[in-house]
Amino acid sequence: MAKTYYIGIDGGGTKTKFDLFDSDKNSIASITMPTIHPAQTSFKEAVSVLTDTKEKLLEKINDSDYILKVGAGLGGYGINADYRKKLEDEFGTVFDEFKLCSDAYAALLGALAGEDGILMIAGTGSIALAKIGDKTFRCGGFGYRYGDEGSAYSIGKALISRALKEADGRLDKSVISDIVEDYFDNISFNMIATSDFSRDKIAGLAAAASKYLDISESVRDIFFAAANEISLHIKAIGKNFEGLKKIKAGYIGGVFKSEYIIKCIKEMNPDIELVAPIYPPEKGSILQV
């Protein structure tokens, strides 16, 4: 009887992770390749990456007779129907049996091993997702201009805003001024205020400031506010789980590297079981096939 093998794909905006799994869904081999997101590259190049990686992974299979199933979580997959159809057509030129979903949904499946619950993502951006049977829900994820509350970007932006207020005397000086000034290589606050930094650059300020949580009330206040925003996501999407006493909520993203953030969220949500992700998104993607 032919064995079944799986390829799980986590296609983000900067890179694509591929993992080959055996029939018991244990990882055999993994490869990281350039992004296949068509907003960052061409469909032709995406097909080339998929084809080359498939060949490399299949070399790890010793069986001559097998079935290959592919699951992929892709950034931007939910943009519109025409876009999804184009992605499905391109995948169809490389794989016979496959299932596509958004990268966020693959992360949700992986984090909770396919079980019902919530996934809170708080990295450069932020969004909450939930799964109840075949139904899915989302909260937040409206982007950095008007949303992404609780994200590393929002923390970085709040730190800069606080430092600028301290610079012109609207607030008393705190260690935040030093953190921001040092992070931006001691350029003037006027330069900081008028520079067009990337989202990743501003988000990185959150990690720099997290080292001062134990000694700075001002830093704690900003991180507490971020934890509260994350909590609002969880509480809002948790309303869909009517009647359940304990809801599992997985979490992914750099913001959760802060033990202070996790501690605050647990205190704000005593009825939520906050859990570290069980599987990565690339394994989550094969739980749908």
Give 193-234 pLDDT, tens digit per residue.
999 999 889 999 999 999 999 999 999 999 999 999 999 999
Average per-residue pLDDT for the chain? 92
pLDDT given at position 79:
65
pLDDT given at position 76:
73
Region 29-44 average pLDDT: 84
pLDDT given at position 103:
86
How far apart are the C-alpha atoms of 151 and 144, rounded to whole Å? Answer: 9
Give residue-wise pLDDT tens across range 76-90: 777 678 878 888 888
Region 247-252 average pLDDT: 93
pTM comes to 0.84
Region 99-121 average pLDDT: 93
Q: Which of 92-96, 125-129, 239-243, 269-273 has the lowest mean pLDDT?
A: 239-243
Region 165-172 average pLDDT: 95
What domains lie within the chain, and their CATH numbers? 3-96 (3.30.420.40), 115-277 (3.30.420.40)
Confidence band of 104 (pLDDT split at 50, 70, 90): confident
Give residue-wise pLDDT tens across range 6-32: 999 998 777 899 999 999 999 999 999
Angle at 253 (CA atoms; ends 252, 256), nearest 5 degrees: 90
How far apart are the C-alpha atoms of 30 and 27, rounded to whole Å? Answer: 8
